[in-house]
Amino acid sequence: MVKQRSAGPLEQVGPFCWRVPPDFKPGMRVEGRIYADDRLIEDILGDPALEQVAHVAFLPGIQGASLAMPDIHAGYGFPIGGVCATDPDEGGVISPGGVGYDINCGVRLMRTNLCYRDIKRQLEPLIDRLFREIPAGTGRSGKYHYSSRQLRRLMQQGVPFLQEQGLATEGDVHHTEAGGCLEGADPDQVSPRAWERGADQCGTLGSGNHFLEIQVVDVVFDAAAARAMGLEKDSVCVMIHSGSRGLGYQVCDDALKRLRGVPARYGIELPDRQLACAPIDSPEGQAYQGAMAAAANFAWCNRQLLMWQAREAFAAVLGSDWQRLQMNLIYDVAHNIAKFERHEIGGSMRRVCVHRKGATRAFPADHPETPAAYRQIGQPVIIPGDMGRFSWVLVGRPGSMQQTFGSCCHGAGRRLSRTAAVKQTKGRRIDQELARQGILARARSRRGLAEECSEAYKDVNRVVDVVHGADLAAKVARLRPLAVIKG
């Protein structure tokens, strides 16, 4: 079926897949491919993200297709929800716009041995303690302060550095993507301003769509996979969504300024200057990689310290240490990152740089980078929804390796800008609306809650149905929110 739209031709090539032909715009090196259903594609057609999918296809060395997940919406250069793999042996480039400003923004999920009935009466003291103890909001600093020497080691080593400090366990390291450390981190490529911003922000939640949420398992779809993760119906979980804070933002901002004239220097023509890039093996490309990896390691440490503080808060309120509560990390996945991985392309295995911006790794069972505990079921894929609706736990499927360089969606995806969301909710009390749904919300401002209202997001259930139907990831469990803290 072919649908002609004002945004250009869009061909439906499968129940959950749409194609942007490579002749849509002169200069496209590969096709675009968007994963969506009939209803989601209507939102996508009205979003500048569609054109951004085509623009990414201009990048030198791009392989396969410029890909977009069902939670796609417009971003800086790349769409949020975009995936792109480039081959350094074919002049492939690395682009900060393909990673984003919040480098290694990601999400982690922790299970417990608690059931909803165990904490129902303690829910308010729990969320109040978490809100009091965990710094949230723009520019907030926390209780962990690092000297220049310590911050260097943190950026180089990631979560294993915190393990040395007694702030992470071996299990925490093993259940974090890439072991919580991206190789090639070079703190010397991180500007003094970024160092300054990161010195007291590790272990802080931030603002915007970042959150810490207490959840309960609502429905189990795959009992064996859920059991391997320690999940069962009515069990309590904690989900954390945050990134590299001011340090990562500064790394991206610095890189975009440095790379402004670089494409022309290498003879690269781009349809949008926001796609500023450099050949992977060039000095400029290497410098960005080193700084980006340092910021990614900072982000993993940030989420680790947030989890550690959550463990301490639960222990204090419930009067039991977190080990007895079995507050164990299920998995941590990055949403905004560029990583070197090996993928089969054209019948041979090749090392490519996979940009995932608002997209999650979804490796299947038996993949060598899937943790041993999940080798038989596939890598856990954690998909947060909005704060008034469900979140999901999935596992990677073989289809992700065949279609999307081992990737799938990362969340619900915005439908409304923050300004539009605030306008739509004028005069309403979102915290009271959530309370009527049985969800306790704590935030630094009413505006912050308004920006993140449910109407601002696509229906995460529909987004998950697409990646499940396309065999990118498979449903394991659906989680219902009980309480949330926001910046």
User: Catalytic amino acids?
Assistant: 410
Phi-psi sector, 235: left (phi>0), alpha (psi -120 to 50), beta: beta
DSSP 179: G
Could you give the 3-state DSSP secondary structure of residue 187?
A: helix
Residues 6+ apart with CB under 8 A from 166: none
d(Cα 111, Cα 8) in Å, to the nearest integer?
46
d(Cα 273, Cα 260) in Å, to the nearest integer?
8
Retrieve residue 326's tokens: 């079995």
Residues 6+ apart with CB under 8 A from 442: 127, 128, 130, 131, 483, 484, 485, 486
Type of residue at 199: A
SS3 for 30-90 is CEEEEECCHHHHHHHHCCCHHHHHHHHCCCCCECCEEEEEEEEECCCCCCEEEEEEECHHH
Retrieve residue 109's tokens: 């999920």
Give the pairing of strands 211-220 and 278-279: unpaired
